[in-house]
Structure 1
């Protein structure tokens, strides 16, 4: 309990302040400081800005510490079935993770962060209290899943700028997966680490390639779907490295893995024709082959209607492909559709691709349609 509750206190101590001194600097009662540090209450949004400044930490780090304290305190309150959350079955804890994963494709990641932080605290609290070997193993696996989702949410909410915080959660997930002897969960967290290298501010395609290959190797014996998804990112890393032959070889291998996936079988949720089309389209965009990219991306955008964040990435890449083909009005149409989705989901990946498409359209900004979509992008940025 102390580790989570003292996160804010550790930041205060690192700043060389007592509770009384912090309360004085913020013009609040000392009881407020104690309540924040214990997770009993949360500071208001306006107060958080002052608090982050005084403690000399980022607002994102402050929010994480606050939600961790709040989450662990919540973990000790009665659960919805009258039991402490720490005694809920592992399957019920995992069901909450699956519910948040389902919401991820439709809702802004920032809206899920508090809930995910509280849930991770609940899972680790339950795991620490479990005595049976089998139950502890199940809870290690549950921790791996929710820690992976936490890293994913943090990175998306930061619009793919804060890789460090996300990596700490992916590292936690990898360690938990190993403790739980769950190769699929380890492969998934490893693949998510690969994304930080492929899509982060400072792209590292060579390191991304290594991580994607490792994820494929881990997943191959246990999950054809996850192995196939990792191979798609092997292909994308090779496209970033301008190695078309290796890229297309990995795409073929991913397609073969898809043929091994049974409906509803292990890993079936990871790989589909729409994912192959989306990432193959991205590969051909990186390779500068707009014609080859367009067919894949049109198919992917149509198939991903229920997965809005992924659809926005496909549409943004479709806009890029069409710019490179000289189809400016088609590019504007695709970018408009991407923005329609991003206004709802605020997906970090989609926003980054959309802005790349907007930059590619700048030579035609004197055209009314291009100017209009540029204004929409500016409004999207202002609202992010």
Structure 2
């Protein structure tokens, strides 16, 4: 154990940090740092980019340090066989969760539901049967992630008509995250829950704003990227309420959080310039300011070529911004681009925005281009 412990400790010391200083930077308890170095516990996978950055090692090097520390720690535990038995499925469950999250941006939600449902059930069974406290905590963390994804999938599959079922999954995720002590997972589930108020047919922007603000507060100590994403939704909620000053204040705060996403990529999976452009464009659309809305939405669309579900929402919002200022040809062009992506992904958010743009184009339905886009929307609806 001493050799493995000194490996992790040596990396910290080479970075010029004491255990106490690293605990402040993470942030984490000093006890957690000691447990990581001794192999008694592992840093949560979501936090390993951050830890690698502070230790000035690559992620691969950090994973090797963790593996060696865990192997040495396991060898000294009386229940080492039980601990090792817990770890293998946990690693497999984490890998499948990451694979599902990656597929979310590329595949229709309905295609992923069966796989995600089975995966969540398997994680819950394994967590209930886990031998060690550490394994239960890690499985609770995985459960929080996959329950959050289940909520997203179900809401998409219902075309955002059913909020009750997704809310149950988000509540399950919040509970699981609380049991694991995973603030990032808890904040993410809470933020997703805010979407039910912000983007359902029966909107409640103030309730959505309050949940998004709570998510930002939870995420602030552990993930600047997630904190920034939550603040973007606070901004959009304020735009829906026609509160321009509060909206722009939240946008500025989100931009500052982006500046805190460091070279190790901490939180970068949540927040980027393209995401800020997307949400800023949406904010200005709700505020009725077409020129800044279009500027940001076009920039976001160009940057989101690999994220088709998000790109369809951007094109739908661009169509709305244009039709509201009478630029019908531009609105139809943006709507057709939204439909192009929706024919592949059938993302619930993009469908709703596209249908809203189609409804607002109805006064011009005698024009052939508008009629053709309307027929494409109808076909999309029939196949949804």
TM category, shorter: 0.7 to 0.9
Alpha carbons 2:194, 2:207 under 8 Å: kept: yes
Tell me the equivalent position of 2:342: 342
Give, in whole Å, the separation in 2 of the partners of 1:371 and 1:264.
49
Residue-by-residue CA offset, 1:253-272 (whole Å, 9 max, x unaligned): 00000010024433210000
Q: Which residue of 2 aligns with 1:174?
A: 174
Matches within 5 A, 1:72-221: 88-221=88-221
Shift of 1:337: 0.6
State the match for 1:356 in structure 2.
Answer: 356
Contact kept? 1:188, 1:226, Cα under 8 Å:
yes
Tell me, yes or no, if the aligned pair for 1:222 and 1:266 is still in contact at 8 Å: no
Provide the C-alpha distance between the structure 2 equivalents of 1:92 and 1:251, rounded to a whole number of angstroms.
38
User: Which whole-Å CA distance do the structure 2 matches of 1:262 and 1:113 have between them?
Assistant: 34
Q: Report the CA distance between 1:376 and its aligned residue.
A: 0.7
TM-score by length of 2: 0.77
Q: Distance in 2 between matches of 1:347 and 1:264?
A: 31
What residue number does 1:66 align with?
none
Q: Which residue does the alignment assign to 2:319? A: 319
The alpha-carbon deviation at position 89 of structure 1 amounts to: 3.3
Q: Give me the CA root mean square deviation.
A: 1.2
Question: SS at 2:254's partner residue?
Answer: helix
Instruction: Report if aligned partners of 2:86, 2:135 keep a CA contact under 8 Å in 1.
Output: no
CA apart distance, 1:86: 7.7
Deviation string 1:256-300 (CA, Å, 9 cap, x unpaired) is: 000100244332100001111111111111111111100000011
Distance 1:88 1:353 in 2: 43
The list of structure 1 runs, each at least 4 consecutive aligned residues, that deviate by more than 4 angstroms after superposition, is none
Task: State the match for 2:307 in structure 1.
Answer: 307
Shift of 1:88: 3.5
State the partner residue of 1:235.
235
Partner Cα separation in structure 2 for residue 87 and residue 242 of structure 1: 50
Where structure 1 has 5 or more consecutive residues not aligned to the other structure, the ranges are 1-84
Number of aligned residues: 300
Partner Cα separation in structure 2 for residue 198 and residue 331 of structure 1: 24
